[in-house]
Amino acid sequence: MEENKIYLGDADLILNDIPDGTVDIIVTDPPYIKMEWERAYTILAKHAPRILKPSGWLISYSGHYNLDKVMRMFGDAGLEYYWLNCQLNAGPTVMVHARKVICGWKPIVIYQKPPTLKCEKGFFDVIRSATEKNLHVWQQSLGDLDFIIPRFTKPGQLLVEPFAGSGTTITSAKVHGLRWIACEINPQTYNIAVSRQIRESLFDEF
């Protein structure tokens, strides 16, 4: 499978082409609203145990409302819970109407394929997020990914992003010297991510 490429299509199908035990880390921000969340996290729970190397990492954003279900899915898939990070919201707060709660932070779940090994570099479990929504309504801050990725990886390792969105995760992966494979199902968002990579590649040449 070609590396350093964004694939257009369903992550459940594309991830089938990644050989077993070849991925060092999965970092992703799946869709977690209404009906979309369950299929997205089912895809992660299905493929992560197979494609990750032993002691490989799965790091995923999650909504609050279904957090218990997400964690149960990962645990049932044979992944080991490592930690829960808190990303403090820098922009407008969001009301979860089903619970009448105003969210001031976002969970980031960290799981590991057995055997569990300590994160060599260590990390602080609170991230003070910046707001970046210029490319996509659900876009995450590059600063957040630049905080996470280097603490769990080494240059040359392979990162997979099954829900690439506007491409923030793979931008950070490139900065930190990782190989990567990404998927995006929405053609419009896919084009944004590809255009972003082209612009950044051209910028790197100067």
Domains delineated in the chain: 5-204 (3.40.50.150)
Q: How many CB atoms lie within 10 A of CB 98?
A: 8
Q: What are the E-state strand segments in the chain?
A: 5-8, 23-28, 52-61, 80-88, 94-96, 101-103, 105-112, 126-128, 158-161, 179-184
Q: What one-letter code names the amino acid at 34?
A: K
Per-residue buried b or exposed e for 51-89, using 16+ beta carbons within 10 Å of the residue's own CB:
bbeeebbbbbbbbbbbeeebbebbeebebeebeebebee
The predicted pLDDT at position 31 comes to: 84
- Cβ atoms within 10 Å, residue 38: 14
Q: Which residues contact 100 (CB under 8 A, 6 or more apart)?
A: none
Which pLDDT belongs to residue 166?
87
Contact 55, 23 (CB under 8 A): no
Residue 53, pLDDT score: 98
Predicted confidence at residue 180, as pLDDT, reads 97
Cα separation values, 45 from 62, 78, 84, 108, 202, Å:
13, 9, 17, 15, 36
CB-count burial class (<10 Å; 0-12, 13-18, 19+) for 8: middle
How far from the centroid of its chain's Cα atoms is residue 164's Cα?
8
| Ranges under pLDDT 50 in the chain | 132-139, 205-206
- Residue whose tokens read 């057995």: 114
pLDDT score at 138: 46
pLDDT attached to residue 177: 96
**Which pLDDT belongs to residue 202?**
53
Segment 29-86, tens digit of pLDDT = 998 766 678 999 999 999 999 999 999 999 999 989 999 999 999 999 999 999 999 9
Point out which residues pair with 85 in neighbouring strands. Answer: 108
User: What is the distance between the alpha carbons of residues 154 and 100, in angstroms, rounded to a whole number?
Assistant: 42
Residue 169: name the closest of 194, 188, 198, 149 by CA. Answer: 149
